[in-house]
Amino acid sequence: MLDRAPQGTQDETRPRPVAFRGAGFTPSAGRYSGWIALALVIGFWQLAGSAGWVNALFLPPPSAIVAAIYKLALSGALWQHLSWSVMRIGSGWILGTAAGIIVGFGIGLSTLARGVGITFISALFPIPKIALLPLLILWLGIGEEPKIATIALGVFFSTAISVYSGVDAVPRNLIRMAQSFNVPFHLIVRRVIWPGALPSILAGFRITASVALLLVVSAEMIGAQYGIGAFVLQAGNLMQTDQLLAAVVILSVFGLVVGKGINLLEARLLHWR
Amino acid sequence: MDLIADHISHRFGTLDVLDQVSFTVRAGEVVAIVGPSGCGKSTLLSILGGLLRPREGQAELRGAPPAGSLNPLTFVFQDFALLPWCTVEANVEFPLVHTALGISERRAVVDDALRRTGLTDFRGAYPKQLSGGMRQRVGIARALAVRPAILLMDEPLSALDSQTRELLMEDFIRLLADGSMGAVYVTHNLEEAVRLADRIVVLSRRPGRVREVVTIPMTRDERGDINARGKLLAIQNDLWSLIREEAIDAEREVQHA
């Protein structure tokens, strides 16, 4: 008995593997898991509708929504509403983005513009732009202009902020390097600051695309005959929930397409990252 | 063309960093600037290269730059300062785009700079694809492309590992061998200073003043000889004894800050 090693220390003389403790904290999205989850939710939703667990008037099943989209596409109403919305988003976004880039670069490069611009942007950015629509209607009339101006305003502030943040984030050592070679100001802006600020500008595009979508729907709900927002409101008033959700799905697809477009733009312009 | 530091003083806010620094870098000469941390070495280099306006004194040039020099005072940066969205070739070409050189001339200059730095096979690569040593070679090729009279080198090897440092040091010695180009070489590494410089300006701790100017009594070729090692080591030790006490004070000051 006395010759035996005490219980518990017997194994300590033998080599044993070091316990692995570095697991976790590295989440990675599976390739198909998202799609499978989406299909499951849609399947359950369809089942709930088909089995009569949910009143189709309040939540029409996916099949009814697909049918509504199909009918809208065939009748031409879908294209009519969509084309008006796309026209408004496109015009408003381009105007707001162009102005935002100019002002953002001004703030990023000029002391005077920074002093004035940041104060104004800080004061005006938090205002929900849709609240300005009635005022814009008074100023610009009841046509397309106030709706486009509302979208442009919403896009402008976010763009200006992302542009001057991007300009600020360009490493100063790159600018000093260019100056040390006597590179003129306009070439420093074009060849150093613009590409350096581009990642932030493109990230801003992602935000402004969703801002534009939100504002177009809101503006069209307030005063438009055609457009996805007007269609959603009209379908709601008539309790045509399948058509209402069809429009929501179209908006979602539109948002996804724009997001994919920005992904492509990033892959093309920021391939050096 | 000589570069003269004429009673340069500078201050950041209430912090005096340089005090009446004067010395001359003669044409083709390599001058190293050493001193304890925070003594204003890099600030001095920025002032010499016109990137920072001194509070007092000035940097001056005397004599004409060599014929064909597009940028007589050219920096080589510690962090390489490469444009990440440009290929190696485009980075080297960057300082030439606004010059009067035609496209074919530009291409020839870039080819020559890439060849001299061993980058010809990497011309299409982006900086992120290169090792630290290769990135600094791009920085050197870019500097060579504008045919400088004086290279202003701000700790060009400090971001690199010791083996890469050794290889690049050999490149510097080769590039500076013919005396057509001078250099101001800021470093905290005394071995680099002793191997490369004709003269070493030792700055005191902040505010940096010229404490001593040490002349290395042999050519760079002679320094490569194994028999010269002892002599170089002795100079290095002398420099260290000049700096050591102040380096300790400077380190404590940083820790207390």
ipTM: 0.92
DSSP state of B208: B
- What's the distance, Cα to Cα, between the start and end of chain A in Å? 69
- Mean pLDDT calculated for residue range A187-201: 96
Residue B79 touches chain A, beta carbons under 8 Å:
yes
Give the pLDDT band of residue A3 (cuts 50, 70, 90). Answer: low
Q: Which of B79, B86, B95 has the CB atom closest to A181's CB atom?
A: B95
Model pLDDT, residue B221: 83
Is residue B76 within 8 A of residue B153, CB to CB? The reply is yes
Percent of chain B at pLDDT exceeding 70: 98
Whether residue A8 has pLDDT greater than 80: no
Model pLDDT, residue B253: 74
Whether residue B15 has pLDDT greater than 70: yes
Q: Which of B17, B22, B20 is nearest to B4 (CA)?
A: B22
Is residue A205 within 8 A of residue A101, CB to CB? The reply is no
Model pLDDT, residue A193: 97
Listed range (A105-119, B59-73, B218-232, B241-255) with the worst mean pLDDT:
B241-255
Is residue A59 within 8 A of residue A248, CB to CB? The reply is no
Whether residue B19 has pLDDT greater than 70: yes
Residue B146 touches chain A, beta carbons under 8 Å:
yes
Mutate to test the interface with B, among A170, A180, A193 (most CBs of B within 10 A): A180
Residue B138 touches chain A, beta carbons under 8 Å:
no
CA B208 to CA B20: how far, in whole Å? 8
DSSP B116-158: HTT-GGGTT--GGGS-HHHHHHHHHHHHHHT--SEEEEESTTT
Residue B232 touches chain A, beta carbons under 8 Å:
no
* Residues A178, B94: C-beta atoms closer than 8 Å: yes
Model pLDDT, residue A192: 97
- What's the distance, Cα to Cα, between the start and end of chain B in Å? 41
Cβ atoms within 10 Å of A91's Cβ, excluding its own: 17
Give the pLDDT band of residue A10 (cuts 50, 70, 90). Answer: low
Is residue A201 within 8 A of residue A97, CB to CB? The reply is no
Is residue B196 within 8 A of residue B32, CB to CB? The reply is yes
DSSP state of B72: S
Residue B97 touches chain A, beta carbons under 8 Å:
yes
The 10s digit of each residue's pLDDT in B78-106 is 999 999 999 999 999 999 999 989 999 99
Residue B74 forms beta bridges with which residues?
B151
Give the pLDDT band of residue A5 (cuts 50, 70, 90). Answer: low
Whether residue B201 has pLDDT greater than 70: yes
* Residues B83, A174: C-beta atoms closer than 8 Å: yes
Listed range (A21-30, A174-183, B41-50) with the worst mean pLDDT:
A21-30
Q: Which of A180, A192, A273 has the CB atom closest to B83's CB atom?
A: A192
Residue whose pair of structure tokens reads 């002093």 in the numeric block: A115
Model pLDDT, residue B223: 86
- Mean pLDDT calculated for residue range B197-221: 91
In Å, how far is B201's CA from the nearest CA of chain A? Answer: 23
Model pLDDT, residue B254: 62
In which element (H, E) is residue B105 found?
helix B103-116
CA distances from A140 to A41, A74, B16 (A): 45, 35, 59
In Å, how far is A3's CA from the nearest CA of chain B? Answer: 56
Size of interface A-B (CB pairs under 8 A): 48
Contacts with B85 from chain A: Cβ below 8 Å: 195-196, 272
The 10s digit of each residue's pLDDT in B115-173 is 999 999 999 999 999 999 999 999 999 999 999 999 999 999 988 898 888 888 988 99
CA distances from B133 to B30, B94, B118, B150, B161 (A): 22, 20, 12, 22, 8
CA distances from B70 to A182, A183, B67, B73, B99 (A): 10, 11, 9, 9, 8
Model pLDDT, residue A9: 56
Model pLDDT, residue A13: 85
Give the pLDDT band of residue B227 (cuts 50, 70, 90). Answer: confident
Model pLDDT, residue B139: 95
Q: Which of A171, A174, A180 has the CB atom closest to B51's CB atom?
A: A180
Model pLDDT, residue B159: 87
In Å, how far is A179's CA from the nearest CA of chain B? Answer: 8
* Residues B49, A180: C-beta atoms closer than 8 Å: yes
Q: Which of B66, B49, B57 is nearest to B151 (CA)?
A: B49
Mutate to test the interface with A, among B46, B93, B98 (most CBs of A within 10 A): B98
Residue B230 touches chain A, beta carbons under 8 Å:
no
Model pLDDT, residue A12: 78
How many residues are given for chain B? 257
Residue B241 touches chain A, beta carbons under 8 Å:
no
Is residue B130 within 8 A of residue B92, CB to CB? The reply is no
CA A65 to CA A71: how far, in whole Å? 10
* Residues A195, B85: C-beta atoms closer than 8 Å: yes
pTM over 0.80: yes
CA distances from A247 to A82, A227, B199 (A): 9, 10, 78
Whether residue B217 has pLDDT greater than 80: yes
- Mean pLDDT calculated for residue range A218-242: 92
Model pLDDT, residue A28: 85
DSSP state of A24: S
Model pLDDT, residue A6: 57
In Å, how far is B17's CA from the nearest CA of chain A? Answer: 20
Contacts with B75 from chain A: Cβ below 8 Å: 177, 180
Model pLDDT, residue B130: 95
DSSP state of B54: -
Q: What is the mean pLDDT of chain B?
A: 91
CA A216 to CA A130: how far, in whole Å? 9
Residue whose pair of structure tokens reads 């002892």 in the numeric block: B230
Whether residue A7 has pLDDT greater than 70: no
Residue whose pair of structure tokens reads 């000029």 in the numeric block: A110
